[in-house]
Every structure is written in C-alpha cells, then in structure tokens.
C-alpha cells in the first residue's frame, strides 16, 4: 500500500522553530547551572561566605514515642531545625524553613541528625 501524500499537522512546528526552542532550553539550562555554582551562604557566627555546592546540609528528624496500640513510634522530618555547617568556623547554623530544604541536591553532602530518643 502506498500513500500519495502525508497530511501535515497544522500545529507542527517548523525546523526553525524547533531549533529556536532547543537554543532557548539550552540557555536556560546553562543559566540554572551557573546560578547553582554561584549561590552563596553567609555564616551567622563568623560572617564569612561559602558556596552552597561546597557546604554540608544537615537534615533534622525527631522521634515520636509510641502511644496506644498503633500511634507514634516513628521519625518525622523537622525542616525548621535543618542546619548548614560553616566551612570556616565549623558552626552548624540553623537555616529554618528555607527554600534550600527542598534543594538538598545542590549541597556537597547531606547528613541526617536524629533527636529525641531518651
């Protein structure tokens, strides 16, 4: 079976439009990578700055003791107590509920801190 002609889709982009879209996406990707590389944190203790990608992020968890037959006995994430370790003075500074708590992949390392077991 042979087709005489293929019907063209009215919404299909042209080659020029595709090339432009690829260029825009590549530029956006490069600018996001540049922003990641240049993001800095300022230490509340010593006042020095460090790059996010060179920092250690510490996630905090707290334990809820068991109660009743099925309640508790589990760990909960506490983003308000998340910390970043300063590379200059070594102090773990609280960053609270920062947007950084959702971008832990930007950090050099991510550690966990479990609190609340007696």
Per-residue pLDDT reduced to its tens digit, 58-113: 888 888 888 877 777 888 888 778 888 888 888 887 665 566 666 776 777 777 77
Percentage of residues in the chain with pLDDT exceeding 70? Answer: 74
pLDDT tens digit string along 9-62? 667 788 888 888 888 888 877 776 666 667 788 887 888 888 888 888 888 888
Average pLDDT value for the chain: 76
pLDDT surpassing 70 at residue 115 = yes
- DSSP assignment of 6-61, as one string? PPPPTTPPPHHHHHHHHHHHHHHHHHHHHHHHH-EEE-TTT--EEEGGGPEEEEEE
The reply to whether the predicted model has a pTM over 0.85 is no
pLDDT given at position 98: 62
């Amino acid at each position: 079976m042979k087709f005489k002609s293929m019907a063209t889709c009215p919404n299909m982009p042209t080659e020029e439009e595709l090339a432009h879209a690829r260029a825009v996406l590549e530029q956006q990707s490069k600018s996001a990578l540049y922003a990641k590389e240049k993001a800095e944190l300022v230490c509340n203790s010593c006042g020095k700055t460090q790059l996010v990608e060179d920092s250690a992020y510490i996630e905090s968890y707290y334990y809820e003791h068991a109660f009743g037959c099925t309640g508790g006995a589990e760990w909960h994430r506490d983003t308000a107590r998340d910390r970043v370790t300063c590379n200059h003075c070594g102090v773990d500074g609280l960053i609270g509920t920062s947007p950084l708590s959702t971008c832990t992949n930007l950090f050099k390392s991510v550690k966990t801190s479990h609190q609340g077991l007696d």
